A and B are shown apart, each in its own frame.
Chain A
Amino acid sequence: MSENEVCVIVPVHNEASTVATTVSDLLQHFAHVVCVDDGSRDGSADLARAAGATVLRHVVNQGQGAALRTGFDHVLRHTSAAYVVTFDADGQHLVEDARRMLERARAANVDVVLASRFTGTTEQMPHLRELILRAAVRFTRMTSRLEVTDTHNGLRVLSRRAIQRIDLRMPRMAYASELLDAIVPAGLTYVEEPVTVIYTDYSRAKGQRNSNAFNILFDLALLRLRATP
Chain B
Amino acid sequence: MIIKILLITAALGVTVLVLREKVPGQREASRRAAGLLLVVVAIIAVLWPELTTTAANAVGVGRGTDLVLYLLVIVFAYSALATAQKIHRLQHDITVLTRELALSRPILPGGERPPLRPEGPVESSVHRD
Question: Which residues does A use to contact B, with CB under 8 Å?
Answer: 1, 5, 32, 36, 45, 49, 52-60, 62, 66, 69-70, 73-74, 76-81, 169, 171, 225-229
Q: Could you tell me the distance between the alpha carbons of A73 and B122 in the complex, rounded to whole angstroms?
A: 9
Q: Given A78-B120, A229-B92, A57–B22 Cβ distance below 8 Å? A: no
Q: Could you tell me the distance between the alpha carbons of A53 and B106 in the complex, rounded to whole angstroms?
A: 11
Q: Which among B29-37, B41-49, B59-67, B94-102 touches the partner chain? A: B94-102
Q: Which among B50-58, B68-76, B107-115 touches the partner chain? A: B107-115
- In the complex, which of the residues B20, B94, B105, B125 contacts A60, with contact meaning CB atoms closer than 8 Å? B94
- In the complex, which of the residues A62, A76, A229 contacts B98, with contact meaning CB atoms closer than 8 Å? A62
Least Cβ–Cβ distance between A33 and chain B, in angstroms: 9
* B108 with A54: CB separation less than 8 A: yes
* B120 with A77: CB separation less than 8 A: yes
Q: Could you tell me the distance between the alpha carbons of A46 and B95 in the complex, rounded to whole angstroms?
A: 22
> Which residue on chain A has the smallest CB distance to residue B117?
A78
Q: Could you tell me the distance between the alpha carbons of A78 and B104 in the complex, rounded to whole angstroms?
A: 10
- When distances are taken between beta carbons in the complex, the residues of chain B under 8 Å from A45 are 107
> Besides the contacts A59-B102, A78-B129, A229-B89, what 5 more A-B pairs have beta carbons closer than 8 Å?
A56-B106, A66-B95, A80-B127, A227-B20, A229-B92
A-B contact count (CB 8 A): 90
Chain B: residues with Cβ within 8 Å of the partner, total of: 33
* B24 with A78: CB separation less than 8 A: no
Least Cβ–Cβ distance between A38 and chain B, in angstroms: 9
* B127 with A78: CB separation less than 8 A: yes
> Which residue on chain A has the smallest CB distance to residue B119?
A77
Least Cβ–Cβ distance between A224 and chain B, in angstroms: 10
* B102 with A226: CB separation less than 8 A: no
28 residue pairs of the A-B complex, CB under 8 angstroms, read A1-B129, A32-B129, A36-B102, A49-B109, A54-B107, A55-B107, A56-B102, A56-B106, A58-B99, A58-B102, A62-B95, A62-B99, A66-B95, A77-B103, A77-B121, A77-B122, A78-B120, A78-B129, A79-B129, A80-B127, A81-B127, A169-B92, A225-B19, A226-B20, A227-B20, A228-B22, A229-B22, A229-B24
* B19 with A60: CB separation less than 8 A: no
- In the complex, which of the residues A55, A79, A171, A225 contacts B124, with contact meaning CB atoms closer than 8 Å? A79
